[in-house]
Structure 1
Amino acid sequence: MPIRDLFRAATLLLACAVAPLVAARNAPAVDPAAAAAAKPPVPLLWKVTGPGDSRLYLLGSFHLLKPQDYPLSPDVEQAFEASQRIVFELSPEDMQSPQLASRMVQAAVRTDGSELKRDLDAATWQKLQAFAAQNALPLAQMQGMKPWFVGLSISIGQMQKLGLDPALGLDRHFMERAQKTGRKTAGLEDIDTQIGMLDGMTVQEQRQMLSEALDQAGKGDEQARLLHDAWRRGDERLLWTKMAAEMRQQYPQLYQRINTGRNDAWVPKLLPYLQAGQGGTLVVVGTLHLLGNDGVVEKLKAKGYKVERVCAGCRAKR
């Protein structure tokens, strides 16, 4: 996997943590005519069957979406209607908390008196200066921030230029629907865990992420287009290849921190929902967490649960 693919994948995976900084508003209205003309995305949705009436629906999210990505498929709508509670990476309370943005910025601020330039090589610094001049980026203010924050801010901004909007992300969509319908909600992580995932990156990883964000900005962000298109098609094989497989091989520590370690922590928190009498639970998390032999899907299979892909459109194509 080219290094740019690796850090683009990491950026998309971490977008949920950054989204509240750039999406402190309601989702834009979806044009009914445009929605009717668009085909719903093919869902990355799995059903896990437990004893009695218990079942989990695992839905792979894309954290920034377009208006034409709605409405969702009937499979997803049926899973929502069959669920009494919705579980996310972060609870709606944490996602909507003013503390999330303030604590993230606090973690991103440099406290040793040094400047951003110190952590960057000459070529990356020059690219950042050029980008700042062309895009009205307040470079003087960015000097006081860590590279991960600057890189992710650039990446999210560029994805928004493609029409990908964090206010339309699948997580926010279901948070709003859960609140409107009175469903119970929960989070698999807290604010500190999400921020620690970002701030725990090494300086080298942060530098590479910022460099990659600048490179992708100059190329029209084709990697974000590719991954969004794959998500719309429900192409789990391409998403696994582009987002995880070689990352796991080439950068095992980074992969462990942002993916495997979190999956391992989540599974025990999901098991109580599979006890008899729990009914239906919809779990909405980043797609990467569901894919591969160390994803949540395979981990639940290994525990003896029946897990099946739910995709009427996929069956129709066979």
Structure 2
Amino acid sequence: MRLLSTLAALLLAGLAGPLHADCAGTNLLAEMPAERRAAITAAADAVPFARGNYWRATRGDEVITLIGTYHFDDPRHAPTLQAVTPAIRAATTVLVEAGPEEEKALQALVARDPSRMVITTGPTLNQQLPPEVWAQLRAAMELRGIPAFMAGKMQPWYVTVMLSIPPCAMARMQDPKGLDGMVIDAARAASVPVRGLEPFDTVFGIFDAMTHEEMVAMIQSTLALEDRSEDYSATLADSYFAGESRVIWEYMRDVSYGLPGYTPEMVDAEFARLEELLMNRRNQSWIPVLTAAAADGPVFAAFGALHLSGEQGVLNLLQQEGFTLEALPL
């Protein structure tokens, strides 16, 4: 899966690393020749609702206000929260990917079944991986404060998620808030009920759909980006705050076209699979939750920004349900 696997790690539950003050990432898109960047932007703009993080959907008396989120801390969240707080306070329900109850249920599941996170039986990663790959992984995890004996016991998906966080940002991972958490806090302060858009164990269903070989390939491909992990995080965050999260998707596609052994057709096929697995299926399952809640009063919904765009994005699916979409300023 190579670079595509890294993108999967960034998308799953929004686990892209926040940039700490000590991080010095460079926006990789800014380094690109103008012609290549224009092609990436054009590819992003070719899908419905490619730009913008803040939207209102209306159908008669039904109103759904939607904010695409970046899941980790960044000082640039402050003006966004200020802009969306009136809509949160006016809502009868706030819907998020995982609300407080879903988080509690997920923690309880992991407590009951540690194998969801760590390898409890069979060979550990240091036994599964080629020696040279394990040596790279061990060094990368130690930079993040994770000793080798712990890294070896982690499930491959969990290792990939850890690798997607730059070492410089690990200190901020004790209590990451992000815009999602800020929305939940604002709703609670206003006594507005908060509910999850999907079952608490959805994320494990996504991982279960991937083969073991794909999981191991995730580790190898993410390690290939280790020397520029800060730059990928900076590029992701900058694109989000510019209202251009779809550009990241097309940027990763463009980078993947240049990988040895890959044809454009192979890359496009893998991207289509990932989009179906990570976004489309979830988006489709969220629509009845959103519309049912809207029938009872104004709804405020917050979820990862990449779920907004695309043919099977939440905005286009709502439009197909008869909602009128309006971009809102931030």
TM range (shorter): 0.7 to 0.9
Correspondence for 2:126:
117
- The reply on whether 1:231 has 2:240 as its aligned counterpart is yes
Correspondence for 2:59:
50
Q: Aligned letter for 2:312?
A: D
- The reply on whether 1:129 has 2:138 as its aligned counterpart is yes
Q: Aligned letter for 2:325?
A: V
Correspondence for 1:38:
none
Distance 1:104 1:196, change over 3 A: farther
Correspondence for 2:327:
309
- The reply on whether 1:201 has 2:210 as its aligned counterpart is yes
In 1, distance between residues paired with 2:67 and 2:174? 19
Q: Aligned letter for 1:235?
A: E
**8 Å Cα contact 1:263/1:289 also seen in 2:** yes
Q: Aligned letter for 1:223?
A: Y
- TM-score when normalising by structure 1: 0.77
Question: Deviation of residue 75 (structure 1)?
Answer: 4.0
Question: Deviation of residue 158 (structure 1)?
Answer: 3.6
In 2, distance between residues paired with 1:145 and 1:220? 20
2:274 to 254, 262, 267: 254
How do residues 36-185 of structure 1 correspond to structure 2 at under 5 angstroms? 44-52=53-61, 54-72=62-80, 75-97=83-105, 98-99=107-108, 101-102=110-111, 105-156=114-165, 158=167, 160-161=169-170, 167-185=176-194
- The reply on whether 1:282 has 2:300 as its aligned counterpart is yes
CA RMSD of aligned residues (A): 3.2
Correspondence for 2:10:
12
Distance 1:73 1:43, change over 3 A: farther
Distance 1:135 1:193, change over 3 A: closer
- Structure 1: tracts of 5 or more residues without a match: 20-41, 314-318
Question: Deviation of residue 146 (structure 1)?
Answer: 1.9
Distance 1:254 1:76, change over 3 A: same
In 2, distance between residues paired with 1:168 and 1:227? 17
Distance 1:189 1:67, change over 3 A: same
Question: Deviation of residue 129 (structure 1)?
Answer: 2.6
In 1, distance between residues paired with 2:186 and 2:252? 29
- Structure 2: tracts of 5 or more residues without a match: 18-50, 257-266
Q: How many residues in Structure 1 have an aligned counterpart in Structure 2?
A: 286
In 1, distance between residues paired with 2:151 and 2:298? 45
**8 Å Cα contact 1:108/1:146 also seen in 2:** yes
In 2, distance between residues paired with 1:161 and 1:126? 21
Correspondence for 2:289:
269
In 1, distance between residues paired with 2:323 and 2:168? 37
In 1, distance between residues paired with 2:278 and 2:239? 21
**8 Å Cα contact 2:2/2:222 also seen in 1:** no
In 2, distance between residues paired with 1:73 and 1:214? 35
In 2, distance between residues paired with 1:3 and 1:192? 26
- The reply on whether 1:293 has 2:311 as its aligned counterpart is yes
**8 Å Cα contact 1:49/1:306 also seen in 2:** yes
Question: Deviation of residue 79 (structure 1)?
Answer: 2.5
